[in-house]
Amino acid sequence: MPEEIQVKSILNKHKKRDDWFLDDYSVNPYSGCSFNCIYCYIRGSKYGENMAKTLSVKVNAPELLERQLSRRAEKGEYGIIALSSSTEPYMPLEEKLKITRKLLKIILKYRFPVEVATKSNLVLRDLDILKEIDKKAILPSDLKPRLKHGLIILFSISTLDERLAKILEPGAPVPEKRLETMKKCKDEGLFTGMCFIPVLPFLSDSEEQLEEMIKTAKKYGADFIFVGGLTLFGNGQADSRTLYYRFLERYYPELVPKYKSLYRIFASPSKEYLKKLEERSKEICKKHNIRYKIV
């Protein structure tokens, strides 16, 4: 069983709204993540190599959110809440614990807009609450002219290759399952999108792979897609950079020198690589008539 922890705060207010995800707040019901993606940016010594073993549940999250959100609502400080930014809100243990569901009920009560980012089909369990949030949420005034939804559901995918996904995202549902879930959300009338992040250099970033992903997103009902590069942090035993290079050495040793050259100094690929990736993605989105980014 995961450890039960008490936290001091659950609603994090960002200094500045995120340009891509549009969130002003974030809420993370769990600490760590059993999906165990090796590229995950939260990786590090705090969680160890197998994050399923060090997972914690923030048991006082609902009580805290009630308090913190009621204060924000009183002051009219509405903003999109990212659920979640550093964990998966619909891991298998959520089925029993229902912490995410409890948090959504509170978010609905105070009429805050929400952005659910997930890789899991368990999100379908909460469609009843999510639909109500979509209808009743109060958007921040500056977003109202551009955004017509109180709910955004994002599905993250890094590759359509099932074998590769099983190695890189060992605890997560396979990409096909995520796509089917996205389609179901769309069929229920929700605003959905695909987050093609991280694009894996030399493994899921060719012209054909980009086009295939964007076409697939459209086919499965995405209202928009956005695309982002892979970041690799740290040299510690449980850091994403270490784990990712271990994966490359085992399965794609011929790519190691190419990655070393792309990630020479920084945790991200070079600016030129990222600029090109964005330009190519925008062009393909235009060709297939699907929006790049949320608004």
By CB under 6 A, name the binding residues for ligand SF4.
Answer: 33, 35-37, 40, 42, 87-88, 119, 169, 172
The least CB distance from residue 252 to ligand SF4, in Å, is 20
User: What residue type is assigned to position 19 of the chain?
Assistant: D
> Least separation, in Å, of the C-beta of 120 and ligand SF4?
8
Residues in CB range of 260: below 8 A, 6 or more apart: none
| Torsional class of 152: left (φ above 0), alpha (ψ -120 to 50), beta (otherwise) | beta
Integer Cα distance of 210 and 199 in angstroms: 9
Rg value, the chain, Cα: 19
Nearest distance from C-beta of residue 253 to ligand SF4, angstroms = 24
H/E stretch holding 202 reads none
- Please, which residue, 37 or 213, has the CB nearer to ligand SF4? 37
Q: Which residue lies nearer to ligand SF4 by CB, 194 or 290?
A: 194
* Closest separation in Å from C-beta 122 to ligand SF4: 12
Q: Are strands 11-13 and 25-27 parallel, antiparallel or unpaired?
A: antiparallel
Say which amino acid occupies 276: K
Q: Of the two residues 35 and 259, which places its CB atom closer to ligand SF4 in the complex?
A: 35
CB 186 within 8 Å of CB 253: no
Q: Are 157 and 187 in contact (CB under 8 A)?
A: no
Residues in contact with 194: Cβ distance below 8 Å, sequence separation at least 6, in sequence order: 154, 155, 156, 157, 182, 213, 217, 220, 222, 224, 225, 226
Mutual angle of helices 127-136 and 99-109, in 10-degree steps: 20
Smallest distance, ligand SF4 to C-beta of residue 42, A: 6
Closer of 78 and 244 to ligand SF4 (Cβ): 244
Q: Which residue's CB is nearer to ligand SF4, number 213 or number 284?
A: 213
Task: For ligand SF4, give the closer residue by CB, 36 or 216.
Answer: 36
